[in-house]
Structure 1
């Protein structure tokens, strides 16, 4: 007859790796499956499993007291019956054992509260230079015509930009129709406090009169990442830029191009809570 302890341990192992497979899907960034299979990581997981197993085999003190009271109430005849028949105890067969296994797995994979700095660093994958479009990504406005009237920095993107400027050389760029639009954009960025840290300066905000001009800026700067809402520009640059982020309200989960990532907003790509656009 199979040992109940071994069966429960096998069940723990199976639940553990099933949760591990789905854990990467809940992360705000891609998990490197090859690193996950490395010897070092496997050893760490093995230690965690053994530790969790020992905890599971030792029920809490109040549960032990409850078991002792039940056993005392049932009398010696029931105890002899369990011993003589060789059946596993009620603890091993009851739903309580399954719940303890699931609780341990859930606790192990409870989401880690990463800081925004950690999220930005991980998502940029050691990139050191970033170029980014303004309209529809950083600004509330969506067209050059809008900039002739006003320019407004999206409040939810400010902290992300500040973190990017700490670790990357950031350049912002946009097509405008006149000089007044340029001044509105620069004034909005200044009012949002994006020029105060020293990472982003007015000289790193570039303006052009055509969409092709933005493409030319990116080609000349040769960034590790370019962020844009124009699908045609993303397609053109995909052959020359290492990573691209396409911002689109209709972004799907995957892109047909390996180095192109899709997201509904800049904040959503970096996993900022509550950043999903409706």
Structure 2
């Protein structure tokens, strides 16, 4: 191996060490089994790259003829690597894209208990009167809700005008598959006859996060709940330092 290749390998070793150290730290934080297998794949790739760099470049293991001084390659060391090897190295150090589950945990700051209003957030309808005719789960938010049920103790709640509306909402949630993940059961979908009832539910449950589309309720709960997410399609002034805003639940999680 010539001096240039030795320098390349030395630099690669340093980059690999830093990369593996960072990934190991992430795995210890998330305890994600998929991350463990990802790290195993990285190590295998490193071994392959190492062997490729150390393999003799000439036929039958012979060293290539040294070039005359006038023909010495003066390009940066990275250009001395075969294109296939450089591609492996570039792929190796691509940033790892977090999963939606990891994003949910990060955005909620590992908050484990969450309460959330249904109207205008999980359901297409925005008023109790509309729910008397139909209840429709928003398809764009479904993936986020399912991830939340895996990680959080999630409670859904809404104001309804009659018992038939309760059944209609539960049926819509069931048909959308929200109860199939095992993290959310029908008993955790709470109904009340007035908006003030939702405030009572939240204060009794004492969640880490409450998600609502009613600005007045978010304002009233700001003193009692650690963090809140206020959903509004219109940009409004911040209610309190612990109340975040977003145009939709899925937008808050980057979906």
Q: Deviations over 1:35-68 (max 9, x none)?
A: xxxxxxxxxxxxxxxxxxxxx9646359xxxxxx
Give the TM-score of the pair, scaled to structure 2: 0.63
Tell me which of 263, 266, 277 is aligned to 2:249.
266
Tell me which of 83, 91, 116 is aligned to 2:100.
116
The alpha-carbon distance between structure 1 residues 113 and 177, as it changes in their structure 2 partners (threshold 3 A), is: same
Check the 8 A contact 2:219/2:239 in 1, yes or no: no
Aligned ranges for residues 32-51 of structure 1 at < 5 Å? none
Corresponding residue for residue 18 of structure 2: none
Q: Which segments of 5 or more consecutive residues in structure 1 lack a partner in the other structure?
A: 1-55, 63-106, 273-278
Q: State yes or no: 1:127 paired with 2:146.
A: no
Distance of 1:61 and 1:256 partners within structure 2: 58
Distance of 1:139 and 1:126 partners within structure 2: 25
Q: Which segments of 5 or more consecutive residues in structure 2 lack a partner in the other structure?
A: 1-74, 82-90
Distance of 1:179 and 1:112 partners within structure 2: 48
Q: State yes or no: 1:138 paired with 2:84.
A: no
Give the TM-score of the pair, scaled to structure 1: 0.58
The alpha-carbon distance between structure 1 residues 152 and 240, as it changes in their structure 2 partners (threshold 3 A), is: same
Distance of 2:125 and 2:101 partners within structure 1: 27
Runs of 4+ in 1 over 3 A off after TM superposition: 56-59
Corresponding residue for residue 250 of structure 1: 234
Corresponding residue for residue 221 of structure 1: 205
Q: State yes or no: 1:166 paired with 2:185.
A: no
Q: State yes or no: 1:175 paired with 2:194.
A: no
SS in 2 for 1:60: helix
Aligned ranges for residues 1-278 of structure 1 at < 5 Å? 58=77, 60-61=79-80, 113-251=97-235, 255-272=238-255
Distance of 2:203 and 2:155 partners within structure 1: 13
Distance of 1:269 and 1:212 partners within structure 2: 26
1:256 shift after superposition: 5.0
The alignment of Structure 1 onto Structure 2 pairs a total of residues equal to 171
Distance of 2:122 and 2:136 partners within structure 1: 9
1:245 shift after superposition: 0.1
1:126 shift after superposition: 1.2
1:197 shift after superposition: 1.7
The alpha-carbon distance between structure 1 residues 151 and 256, as it changes in their structure 2 partners (threshold 3 A), is: closer
1:113 shift after superposition: 2.3
Aligned-residue RMSD, C-alpha: 2.2
1:191 shift after superposition: 0.1
1:159 shift after superposition: 1.1
